[in-house]
Amino acid sequence: MYKQFARYSTAVLGVAFFTGIVFISIPAIPTEPIRLDPAVKEKCLNILRQGLRSDEFWPSMHAAEALTLAGLGEEVKLNVLARIPRETDDQRRCGLAREMVRAGDRSHVTTMLKILNSENPHGHVHACESLFKVIEIGDGQALRKVFASDSNVTKVLMAAGALARSGNHAAMARIRKELSNESADFARIAAWLLGQIGDAADIDSLRANKQRITDALVIAYFDHALALRGASDGIAATLANLKSPDPGIRVYAAEFSGHAGLAQAADSLKAMLDDNTLDVRIRAAQSLLVLAQSNSAPLNVEFTTEVYPATEANPRYSEGSTIVLKDGSLLYATTEFFGSESDFANAKIIAKTSRDGGRSWSESRVLQENVGKNNVMSVTLRRMGPADLADSSVGFFYLVKNGMHDLKVHLRTSNDEGGSFSPPVLVSQDPGYHVMNNDRVARLSSGRLLAPIASTADVGSVNHFVSFCYLSDDQGQTWRRGKGQIDYPQRGALEPEVFESRDGRAAMIIRTQLGHIAISYSGDGGETWSEAASWNVRAPEAPSTIRRIPATGDLLLVYNDTFTPGVGHGGKRTPLTVAISTDDGKSWITKQNIETSTEHTFAYTSVTFHRGQAMLTYYVRDEKSGKISSRFRSLPVWSLYSATER
């Protein structure tokens, strides 16, 4: 039986880490924190610190996990970082990278993705499993490829877990299907996953499939999954498993007792601090520390915060962008206007940070003082490396407005996660009025950056726009204008947004005055563009934002689903609607309104995906006062696929 324990010894429960706060799975039955005697707490920490220094690799990684859960991530990083250069085994490299990410250094997600993409399959399963545990999937492409076509069922299940945790319904369905696989090994993995990311509807299936299992350790996996889902029989079995003669069963019972919130396990866990098996001692210490913590905020729920409410002095906050920093915190920048809501009022760019996924925010700080004759505005925050991962600098794009004939795009970069920024680089070198909306710069699979621009010589006297892109092939150091441009009737091609289609073409959607969103395509990386045509999506004269959802590869469109001919701007910018397309915009499988007030209007959105959430920001204009506030809204990705109106 101990050999079985060794076979399964790398499996641990995933957590989501934000700076200073660890989000663990909320117990199915909420409990009050246990009171832990200081001497017991100190004993737990001593066990974990000794475990971290152990020559037993995987128990040392479990100790690292437990110390991070206890709020000692900085201590973990110092230890793990020193071990990384010496390690050559890809499975262990995944373990080290995983614990660095869990402890608050997301730059090591790159290591796991590189191992998953490598030709050597040795570390592939561990890469998928580790990405699941820290709720990171990058752009999702590598995991989606495994899920769609790989023949290794274990790898597929681990990839499915990572994708399902980030909102992929098909991946969740595959996990549920494998629960009844005739192979107990595959059923065990499915049970392990469903215990963490399933729901109450999985209890009956877990119970039914457990009945056909004969391996005691696999049965324990089902027991612990049931306990995590709050099933009384699973809880009773998990408590009994704490006293099992099998160390493999004891170690998992100890681990899952904490994550299931089983306060009644405390006495058994304290006794297990003297167990003969190191990993049992580590998991017992971990769970005691977890049980002594207050229940953290739940993952995968929808919530809204008013981050920048308008005031008399600052009647407009708008055109913002967010980025996930290396430590898992969020940086949310927006434009703060003074004295007026006008596009030409004085303004500077400010930012706030959140360490709890957007539920609360810091005081604001200035990112860019006003250096324009009118203002600076319209923020885009982007990673400047070859992929949107935290191992590269932060790019901060903004507009400098000097009048109706002079609006330019600038870029500053930060190598310290937004703490300070370089001198500006001019993106739009040509004369004229160059509009780049907030949260707009796109990266193609080639690595090329596209900055989509709507341009006119003078917005006051000409007021007709054409759209094109400025291009950078050196991660934003230099820029040049593409060769082609797009025009459209009436006011022209306005406020463009770009994305890469599945066939490799760049695509540009534009705001129009004709009651629809228009689209154009480029087969040469944004150099030249086809003639724009209707995308068959109705919309007023308002900007739309589009992103590819990492967990599924589908398109998410955020726009105003309305149009009233003959009315200014084609109607009010309400409702604010989200829609999903599985075929790159040919059709939309679901559409729902996330804002419906007729007393407010909503526009200029930004979208960031992180840990299974779609994080949106947008302006909220009070139609009576004219004041504009800036709102943050976090929605579970899975909920975007529901047609229920909010």
Q: Exposure string (b/e) for 436-461, b if CB count within 10 Å is 16 or more? A: bbbbbbbbbeeebbbbbbbbbeebee
Contact 67, 49 (CB under 8 A): yes
Report the distance separating Cα 198 and Cα 201, nearest Å: 8
The type of residue at 643 is A
Strand boundaries in 473-554, DSSP class E: 480-481, 494-500, 506-511, 516-522, 533-538, 545-548
Q: Who's near 193: CB < 8 A, 6+ residues apart? A: 132, 157, 160, 161, 164, 175
Contact 50, 62 (CB under 8 A): no
Measuring CA to CA, which residue among 349, 352, 347, 346 is closest to residue 332? 352
C-alpha gyration radius of the chain:
26
Measuring CA to CA, which residue among 344, 389, 242, 294 is closest to residue 34? 294
Residue 465 is given by DSSP the state B
Host H or E run for residue 425: strand 425-426
Q: Which residues in the chain come in under a pLDDT of 50?
A: 1-28, 645-646
Task: Look up tokens 């493999």; give the residue.
Answer: 248
pLDDT of residue 294: 84
Half-sphere exposure of 320 toward its Cβ, with a 13 Å CA cutoff?
A: 32
Per-residue tokens: 121: 């399959």
| Alpha carbon distances (Å) from 20 to 224, 407, 538 | 28, 40, 44
Q: How buried is residue 86: exposed, middle or buried, by Cβ count under 10 Å (0-12/13-18/19+)?
A: exposed
pLDDT of residue 30: 52
Report the distance separating Cα 451 and Cα 379, nearest Å: 12
Report the distance separating Cα 582 and Cα 614, nearest Å: 17
Name 466's bridge partners: 455
Measuring CA to CA, which residue among 126, 111, 128, 116 is closest to residue 165? 128
Host H or E run for residue 253: helix 247-259
- Which pTM value belongs to this model? 0.94
Q: Exposure string (b/e) for 609-638, b if CB count within 10 Å is 16 or more? A: bbbbbbbbbbbbbeeeeebbbbbbbbbbbb
Please confirm whether the linkage preceding 489 is cis (ω < 30° from 0).
no
Report the distance separating Cα 189 and Cα 186, nearest Å: 5
Per-residue tokens: 517: 């969103």
The type of residue at 75 is E
pLDDT of residue 643: 63
Report the distance separating Cα 596 and Cα 619, nearest Å: 14
| Alpha carbon distances (Å) from 133 to 109, 169, 192, 525 | 12, 18, 12, 36
What is the DSSP annotation of 182-230?
SSHHHHHHHHHHHHHH--GGGHHHHHHHHTT---HHHHHHHHHHHHHTT
Taking each helix axis as running N to C, give the angle between helix 38-52 and helix 57-69, from 0 to 180 degrees, rounded to the nearest 10: 140
pLDDT of residue 12: 34
Per-residue tokens: 415: 């190598």
